[in-house]
């Protein structure tokens, strides 16, 4: 890794990018601790006046400790873009919760396809579940966060629900996906074939980043995004300049819609190399043609 000073240069404060969105999932080690160099770089960027925005598939309650460790002030993008949340005020900045009709359709489909499945509803600051299935127990063990309610989920839709996930046999989840194919939902298994995650199809990291930049009065050309591809694609596409954190020994896969893009092995390197780039230097940036 490149060395990173705890003090940013004066040029950084006058740099082109006022908002930097960083994929948290890609910069966290397997044990859940932030990379020391990445953490130092993010703190330095924040200290220089850059709005540093953490982006993750995690819910807000699991992102808070990283946000607090870094001492950041900007809102976070949680649940893969379904919710933009501000910790100091404990209020959502923007979000796309599931509609009541979608929730009813989901629960009816679950009852028909996976009646014994473990179902969880993700709210803004907590989650509830009908019973502790394997996936729920693993989440508790991994995060230390217990559901605020366990039991009948009827009447638990009064608060906004941003995500629903169900744990069941793979064959049952296949039938559930078929039943919900045209419900306006984003359906994902991620790394667990026995766990199906559902949220509004229109919610994405790119939509959330654009919404947050507008809220913070940051112009589109002042937004930079750092991610690892995959779930970060829409976020990279929404930024004026995207940095793909990847294996430098491999040719990165082009991302459609990304006109200005670079490749680095880490978050600290990305900030050190590109945060202070000025408009006149654009032609010298190493780029990846889409």
Residues 199-224 pLDDT 10s: 999 999 999 999 999 999 999 999 99
- The answer to which of 55-69, 72-86, 105-119, 135-149 has the lowest mean pLDDT is 135-149
**100-200, what's its fold?**
3.30.1240
Range 1-16 average pLDDT: 41
Tell whether the model's pLDDT for residue 284 goes beyond 60.
no
Higher pLDDT, 136 or 107: 107
pTM score over 0.75 = yes
The pLDDT assigned to 193 comes to: 84
Question: What is the sign, positive or negative, of the torsion defined by CA atoms of 107, 185, 97, 204?
Answer: positive
Residue intervals in the chain for CATH 3.30.1240.10:
100-200
Residue intervals in the chain for CATH 3.40.50.1000:
10-96+204-284
Assigned CATH for 10-96+204-284: 3.40.50.1000
């Amino acid at each position: 890794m490149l060395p990173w000073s705890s003090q940013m240069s004066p040029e950084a404060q006058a740099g082109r990018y006022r908002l930097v969105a960083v994929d948290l999932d890609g910069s966290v080690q397997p044990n859940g601790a932030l990379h020391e160099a990445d953490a130092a770089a993010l703190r330095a960027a924040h200290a220089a006046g850059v709005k540093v925005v953490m982006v993750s598939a995690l819910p807000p309650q699991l992102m808070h400790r990283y946000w607090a460790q870094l001492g950041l002030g900007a809102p976070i993008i949680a649940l893969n873009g379904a919710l933009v949340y501000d910790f100091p005020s404990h209020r959502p900045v923007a979000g796309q919760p599931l509609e009541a009709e979608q929730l009813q359709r989901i629960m009816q489909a679950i009852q028909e396809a996976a009646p014994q499945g473990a179902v969880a509803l993700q709210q803004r600051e907590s989650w509830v579940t009908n019973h502790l299935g394997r996936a729920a127990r693993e989440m508790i063990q991994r995060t230390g966060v217990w559901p605020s309610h366990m039991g009948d989920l009827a009447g638990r839709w009064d608060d906004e629900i941003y995500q629903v996930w169900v744990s069941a046999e793979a064959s049952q989840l296949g039938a559930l996906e078929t039943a919900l194919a045209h419900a306006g939902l984003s359906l994902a298994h991620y790394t667990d074939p026995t766990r199906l995650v559902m949220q509004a199809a229109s919610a994405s990291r790119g939509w959330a980043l654009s919404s947050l930049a507008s809220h913070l009065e940051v112009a589109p050309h002042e937004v930079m995004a750092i991610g690892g591809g995959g779930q970060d694609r829409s976020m990279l596409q929404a930024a004026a300049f995207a940095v793909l954190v990847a294996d430098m020994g491999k040719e990165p896969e082009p991302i459609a819609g990304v006109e200005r893009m670079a490749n680095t092995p880490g978050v600290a390197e990305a900030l050190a190399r590109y945060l202070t780039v000025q408009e006149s230097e654009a032609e010298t940036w190493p780029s990846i043609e889409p």
